[in-house]
Amino acid sequence: MKKIQFGTSDLQAASVILGCMRMNGVEKPAEIIETAYEHGIDFFDHADIYGGGECETIFGKALKETSIKREEIIIQTKCGIRKGMFDFSKEHIISSVEGSLKRLGVDYIDALLLHRPDTLVEPEEVAAAFDQLEAQGKVKYFGVSNQKPMQIDLLKKTVKQPLLANQLQFGIKHTGMIDQGIHVNMTDEASVDHDGSILDYSRLNQMTIQAWSPYQYGFFEGVFIGNETFSELNATLDKIAEKHNCTATGLATAWILRHPAQMQVIAGTMNKGRIAEIAKASEIVLSREEWYEIYRAAGNILP
């Protein structure tokens, strides 16, 4: 398993993360955890809202059924989304972490991310919550999710802990953060910067991008792999995958990991075979030619 430096910390983390959003639909969750761990995936991503908290509870109980020690894995969770609103208040952040700790059955969270941006955020409250959680030893590292540079800088004005990671939707069919950088000085649709140059910002500030929904197109519209709507892309994936002795899913993973931004891929599958093929892909290094061939096959035009 390829390891990456987690933000500016000394932590070396797996380049593939197991996303646990669907864990409440698994018959034998302990086997899923063990399969991931056996293939080098030691990083598990949660959120307080996944399954209404049920996914964290299931994971916590299942982990105890395995021989894996708590300190051998990295547990990450997120908070800030509530029914009909977003909430980055000190009270909610702390209560959310307390709830996650109880459901997961652990004494500390390795990484806490603020989920989707709260426009009513008061950075001083976030800072106070982070200070308390860090001082109590309940959270080791902090980060954000779905945020752009100015929102991150607003938090940094008060928050003293390094913001190490940012979860962003990214994959072969969701390449906006790359497109706008390639189409600089153009006036076509691909040149529109929706994210405030978040890719360059992340590299400059050594923030780890965690790519969520890496195999989806649109906003949860579906999976592009094996989808006849994207015949050219799938033909290209199959051709290059055969060369590297991997699956199309594995290749789609390797495509993300090839980027020098040193991203992590969040794999949300609960299929043991797919977990294995995705983990194996971390060892594949695509050539520049292969990377751009896949990018073009996805329908992207180079200016």
Separation of alpha carbons 256 and 2, rounded Å:
13
Distance CA(38)–CA(276), nearest Å, equals 9
Which has the closest alpha carbon to 259: 191, 172, 131, 135? Answer: 172
Is 50 annotated in the active site? yes
The CA angle 245-287-232, to the nearest 5 degrees, is 70
Given 37, 50, 201, 215, which residue is catalytic? 50
Residues 257, 228: Cα–Cα separation, whole Å: 25
Positions annotated as catalytic residues are 50
